[in-house]
Chain A
Amino acid sequence: MGSPVPGAEGTPLAAASSTSPGLRPPTRRSTELFMLAFAAVLVTCALILVEANQERELSMQIVWLGLAYLGLLTVVHLAVRKWAPYADPVIMPCVALLNGLGLVMIHRIDLAMADVKYADGSTWSIAAPKQVLWTAIALVLFCTALKVLSDHRTLARYGYTFGLLGLFALVLPGVLPSFIAPEINGAKIWLSFGAFSIQPGEFAKILLMVFFAAFLVSKRDLFTIAGRRVLGLDLPRARDLGPLVAAWAVGVSIMVLQKDLGSSLLFFGIVLVLLYVATERAAWVVLGVVMFCVGAFAAWKLFGHVQIRVQNWLDPFADPYDRGHQILESLFGLGTGGLFGAGLGGGRPDEIPEANTDFITAVIGEELGFVGLSAVLLIYTVFALRGLRSALAVRDTFGKLLGGGLAFAVAFQIFIVVGGVTKLIPMTGITAPFLSYGGSSLLANYILAALLLRISNAARAPKTTPKPRPQQPAIADQFTVMVERPK
């Protein structure tokens, strides 16, 4: 664009004062391409290591697979370059690396489980090709989302619709009869249509976040009204507690109806953080945590499946071959991995149950060790960090809330997963975003990433030339209605 004289091209001078004239902020798309290539190289290396350590034939095919992955990433990169040129350069490479590493680990678990025969004579169904297919679909969805949604603020208009849809999707598997919503591993969160099944809760998470962000933007004043002050906390008025109580009720009902502790915790956590971001009042968080503790305690007292989870958490050795089995194998796996891990392809992931979904971080911990697992966690941190940074920098309040919520959701989800696997909190059984096997989770998280890129694009793009605002009369001279003075 060179360095035009301000005003020469019809740009108002007002625009020149906010961003320096002629100097467009860097888009940093080349950085993104470099990082994406780096991620592809890492994933290819991981695949080669797995194949070599499993003593399988190394052929040029692996390199082709790696190049195919790079090709996919390049397509995504071009889409971002076209539709969100100012988007954050680090988010997409983080996603690419996590997803690629997930694919390699799922393939690696397939190799380990290939000769396992179950008691009923069935064998392990190969998961990696399906996950590759899901990845391709997710990337298409990602690009479509970027293209269709050219401005994240349009989402705010459909806030209530999204909220209703999200609530519907969330509760649906819990209330449907079990031939369409079967109970798998004690949780009733799937909808099954013959060959494939979806987990509507993953999408509900995003829909509800859009709803809450839109709702809080329009009703923000309501939540900042001062109530009674107790122990240095400004407590909200009792009648403003409605939304929080509703969210709490939904969270508890998920826990009871669907037996899904993880989603319930995730959902309630997101609501609390959005409320906190919108009002900046610690009182909401304190209230919410207290309510959650009361609800969780009541659920623990009343329901058997919650008691089992807590029992496994407190003392997995009480029943090491049945109930405590999962968490024990995961801990043994992490212990075997030690500091530097057993090497990719060198561990025993066939020992860990649910290795490619809930416990995939345990498999990574076993093969890459503490050092590798902490690198993976740091990549998640960078992802969430960039999301929060975009939320801080974006100019509209809806974008701030939504971006903060989305970034927090990923960070909180990985906390719940890794916390469960490492026995910090009771095991809850939700998927690690981008890593775990599962179509719904992958699709939903790619949509989440697309939304974050959209918000970061809005945050970093140079401000478009502001429309000349109509000169408003001074506040004292504004229109006032003449009303008869009451006598």
Chain B
Amino acid sequence: MQLTRAGFLVLLWLFVLAALRVVRSDLYAASGLRVPTPKFGRGAKKAARGNKAARQLVVTHGALAGTRISLDGRPIMIGRADDSTLVLDDDFASTRHARLSMRGTDWYVEDLGSTNGTYLDRAKVTAPLRVPLGSPIRIGKTVIELRS
């Protein structure tokens, strides 16, 4: 009676250990298999946290390509208006097109009711969205991105 009682418990735990062994061997087997998954929630945040905060804004395409603006925490206004931080001479840009503002350590892009829209990495910006480092923001023919 005592022997079978202990024996069954041992068997039960052996099952648990066997399951954990499979899990462990699988951890290593699967690690080489992982395909870069589309950034979703956790992954995206981690990538942003791993790097430093955004230091500058770079124009990568368009008439102003190569322009850099260093970021100091104040919001960046983008548009054709003369008082914008980044003045665009672009037929597709509105007078006050978009605004980049800082909240905590993250930058958010916000469309200011432009005619042709602002795109963050091919998605249309309809509400304030967080801008990960290196994601292209397209305004008319101009593409900008944040870099550290």
Q: In the complex, what residues of A have CB within 8 A of residue B16's CB? A: 375, 378-379, 382
Give the interface residue-count category, chain A: 35 or more
Q: Tell whether A84 is near chain B: CB-to-CB under 8 Å.
A: no
In the complex, per-residue mask of A90-101: 1 if CB is within 8 Å of any chain B CB, else 0: 100110010000
B122 touches A475 (CB 8 A): yes
Q: With the chains together, A38 CA to B18 CA distance in Å?
A: 9
Q: With the chains together, A376 CA to B143 CA distance in Å?
A: 56
Q: With the chains together, A401 CA to B59 CA distance in Å?
A: 36
Q: How far, in Å, is B80 (CB) from chain A's closest CB?
A: 9
Q: Tell whether A278 is near chain B: CB-to-CB under 8 Å.
A: yes
B140 touches A25 (CB 8 A): no
Q: In the complex, what residues of B have CB within 8 A of residue A344's CB? A: 5, 8
Q: With the chains together, A487 CA to B18 CA distance in Å?
A: 74
A42 touches B35 (CB 8 A): no
B10-29 contacts to A, CB under 8 A, are 11-16, 18-20, 22-23, 26, 29
In the complex, per-residue mask of B53-86: 1 if CB is within 8 Å of any chain A CB, else 0: 0000000011000000000000000000000000
Q: With the chains together, A375 CA to B2 CA distance in Å?
A: 19
Q: In the complex, what residues of A have CB within 8 A of residue B116's CB? A: 480-481, 483
Known A476-B61, A480-B116: A279·B141 in contact at CB below 8 Å: no
Q: Tell whether B147 is near chain A: CB-to-CB under 8 Å.
A: no
Q: With the chains together, A222 CA to B13 CA distance in Å?
A: 46
A367-387 contacts to B, CB under 8 A, are 368-369, 371-372, 375-376, 378-379, 382, 385-386
Q: In the complex, what residues of A have CB within 8 A of residue B7's CB? A: 45
Q: Tell whether A319 is near chain B: CB-to-CB under 8 Å.
A: no
Q: In the complex, what residues of B have CB within 8 A of residue A2's CB? A: none
Q: How far, in Å, is B45 (CB) from chain A's closest CB?
A: 6
Q: How far, in Å, is B48 (CB) from chain A's closest CB?
A: 11
Q: With the chains together, A39 CA to B91 CA distance in Å?
A: 70
The answer, among B6, B23, B34, for a CB contact under 8 Å with A340, is B6
Stretch at the interface among A248-256, A392-400, A426-434: A392-400
Q: With the chains together, A28 CA to B33 CA distance in Å?
A: 14
The answer, among B38, B41, B62, for a CB contact under 8 Å with A280, is B41
Known A375-B12, A475-B138: A90·B23 in contact at CB below 8 Å: yes
From A38, A462, A480, residue with most partner B Cβ within 10 Å: A480
Beyond known contacts A31-B22, A90-B19, A344-B8: 6 more, CB 8 A cutoff: A49-B4, A93-B15, A229-B104, A372-B12, A382-B16, A476-B138
**A residues engaging B (CB < 8 A)?**
18-20, 25-26, 28, 31, 35, 38-39, 41-42, 45-46, 49, 52-53, 89-90, 93-94, 97, 221-222, 224-226, 229, 234, 277-280, 340-341, 343-344, 346, 368-369, 371-372, 375-376, 378-379, 382, 385-386, 393, 395, 397, 400, 460, 462-463, 474-476, 478, 480-483, 485-486
| 9 smallest beta-carbon distances between A and B, as pairs | A476-B61, A343-B5, A280-B41, A375-B12, A225-B127, A382-B19, A378-B16, A397-B40, A90-B19
**B residues engaging A (CB < 8 A)?**
1-2, 4-9, 11-16, 18-20, 22-23, 26, 29-30, 32-35, 37-38, 40-42, 45, 61-62, 91-92, 103-104, 108, 115-116, 119, 122-123, 126-130, 136, 138, 140-143
